[in-house]
Amino acid sequence: MSVAHRALWIKVCGLRTVPDVIAAAEAGADAVGFVFHDASPRNLKAHEASELAAAVPAGIGKVAVFLHPTQAQVDAAIDAVQPD
């Protein structure tokens, strides 16, 4: 079913483990979000996010979440996650 035909679109954010990514996808999430903000307890480094992004099933969107990032942080996150 396309997003246009659904009443609700769900992104689950702050995931930190592969089992969490899989659980979110199996629960029906449309997208998963990876946090790149140093002060957040859910913050990921690029290499950690890359491992998680590789576990995202086809058809599930990937989102990078920032708060006042440097360009280097944005570039590293994009390289690691390839967000949609």
Q: How many domains does the chain have?
A: 1
How many of the other CB atoms lie within 10 Å of CB of 40? 12
Closest CA to 63 of 8, 11, 3, 6: 11
pTM of the model: 0.85
How confident is the prediction along the chain (84 residues), in pLDDT tens digits per residue? Answer: 555 666 899 999 999 999 999 999 999 999 999 999 999 999 999 999 999 999 999 999 999 999 999 999 999 999 999 999
Domain span holding position 30: 3-81
CATH of the domain at 29: 3.20.20.70
